[in-house]
């Protein structure tokens, strides 16, 4: 059971659909409950429906069918500025003609908050994002990372219970992105704010979220905490989209409880965990994470299933080695091994045995 998997989520999408042309649904029959104080990320490729969901929640788009409720109240017909939701976008959306402090005071003025209380709240919000000394500057005098911090402070300044973020770190460089990921998550949890975050960056989703909803084709393909999403993908799309993944094609020969016997297309038989295959004769894509495969003989588990492989590339990456192999007809089979003193160095053309545990191998839809 996930966080608040009941009917009384703080944010509830109830059978929500969205179509722009009356024919094609960009969001299909969406049911989603988000708990109070939860950090939920909507993750998916472009066009999967995640941003449309965020925009319907914000009030910039209207649901074609179904209800969206906030704290038990339907909000379909409430104007965006009356929903009391903080928003952070990728392009910062700061007013260039106003100082940082004036940008932050603006949402408070709209809410008719008096001058001295405004100043207190503005200073508190700036301190939250470590920008206390920047109140008198203009947005143009700030770096991208600083502007994004101000945009975040502006979303938090009126103390909303819900904050929506649409790819807020997309324009920043890797190191700054990672710093801000950490800061945003900490802030959200410390303030107890419910956060709905949209991104197509899977690492961002895994590192920041309590739960992740993976979108594809207008539907949630899987909704789960990050570790479960990575370790236990429910279908081929999720397995391929989250993290790196090896696939081998084959046919299910038999299923006994939590074991499936699969014949790979090259005739090799392997044991897997049946995830969404139900009967013999079904085509399947077998999924194995690169870090779950081993080729050092002394590290191979006694119960490991072994296959023959040919080394195609062996790449040194500092903290780890990345090996590309030909396995059962797949020339893009990857193994990741940590850089350890006993690590065997491989050469292209070398024939080796590789192995993994049946529990780490999942038989998914073809």
**Cα separation of 242 and 206, whole Å?**
9
**Cα separation of 32 and 186, whole Å?**
24
User: Which pLDDT value is given to residue 30?
Assistant: 94
Helices marked H in the chain? 50-58, 100-110, 115-128, 144-156, 174-191, 202-208, 226-231, 236-241
Q: Looking up tokens 């009126």, which residue turns up?
A: 158
How far, CA to CA in Å, does 190 sit from each of 24, 63, 289? 41, 32, 34
Nearest to 272 by CA among 366, 364, 363: 363
**Cα separation of 245 and 167, whole Å?**
25
Pairing of strands 65-70, 320-327: unpaired
**Cα separation of 360 and 214, whole Å?**
21
Which CATH superfamily groups domain 11-236? P-loop containing nucleotide triphosphate hydrolases (3.40.50.300)
| pTM, rounded to two decimals | 0.88
Nearest to 205 by CA among 318, 345, 341, 48: 48
**Cα separation of 238 and 235, whole Å?**
6
Tell me how far the alpha carbon of residue 283 is from its chain's centroid: 28
Pairing of strands 162-166, 85-89: parallel
What are the structure tokens assigned to 52, written together? 């449309």
End-to-end CA distance of the chain: 28
With respect to CATH, is domain 244-365 assigned 2.40.50.100?
yes
Helices marked H in 157-283? 174-191, 202-208, 226-231, 236-241
**Cα separation of 76 and 353, whole Å?**
59
What are the structure tokens assigned to 166, written together? 């649409």
pLDDT in tens, the chain (366 residues): 344 444 578 999 999 999 999 889 999 999 999 999 999 999 999 999 999 999 999 999 999 999 999 999 999 889 888 888 999 987 767 899 999 999 999 988 888 889 899 899 999 999 988 899 999 999 989 988 899 899 999 999 888 899 999 998 888 888 889 999 999 999 999 999 999 999 999 999 999 999 999 999 999 999 999 999 999 999 999 999 998 999 999 999 999 988 999 999 999 899 999 998 888 999 999 999 999 998 877 777 777 888 999 999 999 999 999 999 999 989 999 999 999 888 888 999 999 999 998 889 999 988
* 53-61 LR contacts (CB < 8 Å, sep 24+): 53/13, 53/16, 53/18, 53/27, 53/215, 54/164, 54/166, 54/196, 54/198, 56/16, 56/18, 56/27, 57/11, 57/13, 57/85, 57/164, 57/196, 58/83, 58/85, 58/87, 58/164, 59/83, 59/85, 61/18
Domain ranges of the chain: 11-236, 244-365
Q: Classify 78 as helix, strand or coil.
A: coil
Q: Do domains 11-236 and 244-365 have the same CATH topology?
A: no
**Cα separation of 274 and 278, whole Å?**
8
**Cα separation of 153 and 43, whole Å?**
24
**Cα separation of 250 and 272, whole Å?**
11
Q: What's the longest Cα–Cα distance across the chain?
A: 76
User: Which pLDDT value is given to residue 2?
Assistant: 42
């Amino acid at each position: 059971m996930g966080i608040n998997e009941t009917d009384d989520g703080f944010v509830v999408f109830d059978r929500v659909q969205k179509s722009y042309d009356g024919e094609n649904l960009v969001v299909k029959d969406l049911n989603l409950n988000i708990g109070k104080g939860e950090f939920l990320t909507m993750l998916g490729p472009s066009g999967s429906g995640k941003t449309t969901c965020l925009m319907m929640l914000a009030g910039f788009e209207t649901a074609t069918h179904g209800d969206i409720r906030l704290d038990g109240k339907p909000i379909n017909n409430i104007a965006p500025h009356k929903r009391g939701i903080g928003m952070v976008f990728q392009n910062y959306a700061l007013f260039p003609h106003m100082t940082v402090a004036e940008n932050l005071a603006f949402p408070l003025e709209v809410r008719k908050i008096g001058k001295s209380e405004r100043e207190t709240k503005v200073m508190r919000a700036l301190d939250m994002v470590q920008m206390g000394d920047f109140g008198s500057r203009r947005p143009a005098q700030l770096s991208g990372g600083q502007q994004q911090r101000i945009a975040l402070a502006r979303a938090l300044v009126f103390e909303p219970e819900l904050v929506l973020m649409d790819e807020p770190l997309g324009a920043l460089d890797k190191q700054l992105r990672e710093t801000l990921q950490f800061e945003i998550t900490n802030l959200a949890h410390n303030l107890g704010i419910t956060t709905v975050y949209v991104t197509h960056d899977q690492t961002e989703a895994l590192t920041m979220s309590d739960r992740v909803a993976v979108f594809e084709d207008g539907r949630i393909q899987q909704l789960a905490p990050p570790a479960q999403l990575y370790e236990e993908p429910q279908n081929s799309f999720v397995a391929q989209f989250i993290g790196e993944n090896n696939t081998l094609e084959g046919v299910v020969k038999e299923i006994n409880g939590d074991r499936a016997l699969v014949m790979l297309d090259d005739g090799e038989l392997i044991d897997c965990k049946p995830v969404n295959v139900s009967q013999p004769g079904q085509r399947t894509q077998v999924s194995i994470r690169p870090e779950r495969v081993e080729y050092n003989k002394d590290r191979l588990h006694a119960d490991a299933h072994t296959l023959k492989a040919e080394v195609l590339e062996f790449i040194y990456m500092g903290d780890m080695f990345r090996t590309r192999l030909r396995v059962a007809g797949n020339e893009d089979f990857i193994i990741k091994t940590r850089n350890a003193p006993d690590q065997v160095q491989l050469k292209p053309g070398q024939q080796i045995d590789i192995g993994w545990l049946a529990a780490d191998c999942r038989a998914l839809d073809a």
